[in-house]
Each structure stands twice: as C-alpha cells, then as structure tokens.
Structure 1
Amino acid sequence: MTENITCTCAHWQTHRMALAELLSEAPFPYCPWCGQQLAAESQRDESLLAKYRQRIVEMFFTTDTWGMPDLPNMLLAARPVADYRQLTGDALGTLDLMLTFVETGTRFTTQYGDIDEPFYEGLELMLDDFRDLLLANPHLYEEGDLSLRLPRLARDAGWMGWGYGDYVTEQVSGIMRHFGDV
C-alpha cells in the first residue's frame, strides 16, 4: 500500500521509507512536509491528465489575431504541470506532463524553426525537473510509456540549436544508462 501513495516533494522522497509502517497502519491524506494531498496511483484520473496535457499544447500553439503563431510564454506553458502536481500529487502523471511539455516545445521548434535561447532554457529546466523526479521515483520508469518516449525525444531534438539538442541527448542518455537501457 505504501508504494501506491505518493507525494512529489523532496522531503517525502527522502523520508518515504521511514513512513512506510505508519502509512500501512493509517494512511493520511496529506504530506506532513508540504501539505500536498497524497495521491494513490490507482486513483489516477486519466481524463484530468488529458485535460492538463491539452492545456500544455494550447499554451505552446497559440496564435495572434492574424493567425500567426505566438512565441510561447514558458511560465504559462509550465503552469499546468505545477497545477496538476499540486492538485493531485501524482508523480507518474506529473512526469507525463513534464515530458509532454518538453516534447511539445520540441515539436513547436520543429514546426516553426529555431527559437531564442531562453525558450530552450525553459525546456532544459523542465527536463532537469523531470530527471530529478524520475530518479526520486525509479519504480515509475517502466510505468506508462516514459521509457519509450525518451529516445523519441532525443531523436527529435538532436539537431536543434543553442546546444538544446546536445543537452537533451545527453540527459536522455544519462537517464537510460541509469536504468540500464543502453
């Protein structure tokens, strides 16, 4: 039962094993460190996750009044990830949304051409957060389709500028090496 109840905060990840016995006896609905509601992975709401995925895509692919694409506001585009994480505490869903964010930003660049450095830095920061959360929850690597999506991301980003393609390839290779997938 303990494995199914999660929070995404760093304190939870550090002290999860110490709480195992307490949680098995009387699970409590909130993380004692950050106050975030704990989520049982079996209670994941796929329709809610799909709505948050769609919000991320919409934030990247907005258009102005003339129908021309706007440069995405990276803070607004990342907001659905933070909102979902805070609302549900679902680590796998959060990982899914983080990867969706990076994949969508990569697709935006493929479709509209090279963007500026701050754009790529925003994608890199989200990929860093993804890596950190995944390494804190290694049991989630094989769940969902994360292990299949990472190589595709590295392939799609490999040619991009500002060092972004190299960074993505390096990070994805490191994650896959960590999990013995190379």
Structure 2
Amino acid sequence: MKKDSELKWSDLKKSLQKSDKKELLNVIQELYKYSEDNRRYLLVRFIDKKEINKVMEEYREIVVNEFFPKKGYGELRYFVAENAIKEYSEASGDFVGKMELMLTYVENGVKYTNEYGDIDEEFYDKIYDMLDQFCALLKTPEGKSFYPYFRERLLKIRDDSDEIAWGFGDAIDILITKIENFFEEVQKDS
C-alpha cells in the first residue's frame, strides 16, 4: 500500500466510483459527525438554497466571535475568521453572502479597536486588506449591483474609523472615498 503522502485524489476517486450510493452516504455521514467544520461545509454545500441564510449566520458568528465572543475577550485569530469566510464562499458559491461576511469582519475590526484602543500593525493590515478585497469585489460586474445595499455600512465604517490612529482611519477614508467616486462615475456613465 502507498504511504498517505503518495495517495492522490485520483486514487481515492477510483475507489469512490466503485462504491454504491448507500456506502457513499455512510462516508458522508461519518465526515459530518467527525467535526463541526465538516458539518458546516456539508450543510452549506448541499442545503436547500432557501436555508442558506441560517448557515451563513453560523459563519457570521465565527467571524464576530474572534472579535467579540459571548464571554471574555476576542482572541483575534485572523485565520479562523478568514477561513470561515473562505469556507462559506467556496462551499456555497453565495457571492453576496461572502461580501456580507467580509464586511462583518471589517465592521467588527473597527468596533474592536474603538472599544479596546490601539492594536498592532498586523491587526490594522488585516482589517484594511479585507476591506480592500471587499471593495475590489464591489467593482466586479457581479458586485456592482450590491453597492447600494452595502453603501450605508461602508460610510459608517469610514465614520467609525475616523479617529483611529496610525494612519488606519486615513487609509479607510481613502479606500471608501475611492469606491464612492468609482460608483459616481459608473452612475454618470449609465
């Protein structure tokens, strides 16, 4: 038998193709039971699209929890929050849901620094980078139609970050002003 490191998807795929439906369902059930991450992924991937908002709220909770858990202080494990956004997006294909989670990350980052004071450079970089990615998505053909939906929240982020030091407030202001100008130009052109 090959070592685990030598096994490839093609090897597994051959075995899975030989399995019957019941056997595959049993494997999926075991994966579902194995971890909370697996459960969320499978639910997002296969749940009826009418139920997707309920699952997205679970992912939003993961993001918010890194900043403001129900008890104690946020751990600021960026990778946990960022992975939740990535996992939700890849499993669901829900474009606006991904944007919703990204903006939730930024809103909670701004709220966190206003609540607890100056953080560190990595913190500000992570929050800014997520907002920058969000704005890039807004500029895409698929994202443009969602600008009116997110506009007020963007303006609130700009207002709430106004007094934040280390150039963060200024950087946020510039980024949101650029997106405002972009959409003013789009409106003029249409």
1:171 and 2:175 equivalent?
yes
8 A Cα contact 1:81 1:98, kept in partner: yes
Aligned counterpart, 1:23: none
1:108 and 2:112 equivalent?
yes
Of 47, 69, 81, which aligns to 2:54?
47
CA distance in 1, matches of 2:145, 2:73: 39
Q: TM-score, normalised by structure 1?
A: 0.68
Give the secondary structure class of the aligned counterpart of 2:118: coil
For 1:56, the aligned partner's letter is V
For 1:139, the aligned partner's letter is S
Deviation of the 1:44 alpha carbon: 7.2
Alignment of 1:1-80 (within 5 A): 45-62=52-69, 69-80=73-84
Kindly indicate which of the two structures has a greater share of residues assigned to helix. Answer: 2
Change (3 A) 1:43 1:62: closer
Q: How many residues align?
A: 137
Deviation of the 1:57 alpha carbon: 0.6
Deviation of the 1:77 alpha carbon: 2.1
Alignment of 1:76-95 (within 5 A): 76-95=80-99
Aligned counterpart, 1:131: 135
Q: Which of the pair has more CA radius of gyration?
A: 2
For 1:50, the aligned partner's letter is E
- Structure 2 unmatched ranges of 5 or more: 1-43
Q: Quote the RMSD (CA, aligned, Å).
A: 2.3
Deviation of the 1:61 alpha carbon: 2.2
1:140 and 2:174 equivalent?
no
1:99 and 2:103 equivalent?
yes
Change (3 A) 1:43 1:141: farther
Give the secondary structure class of the aligned counterpart of 1:45: helix
The ranges of structure 1 where at least 4 consecutive aligned residues each deviate by more than 6 angstroms after the TM superposition are: none
- State which drifts further: 115-124 or 47-56: 47-56
Q: TM-score, normalised by structure 2?
A: 0.65
Give the secondary structure class of the aligned counterpart of 2:145: helix
CA distance in 2, matches of 1:70, 1:134: 29
For 1:58, the aligned partner's letter is N
- Structure 1 unmatched ranges of 5 or more: 1-36
CA distance in 2, matches of 1:104, 1:178: 25
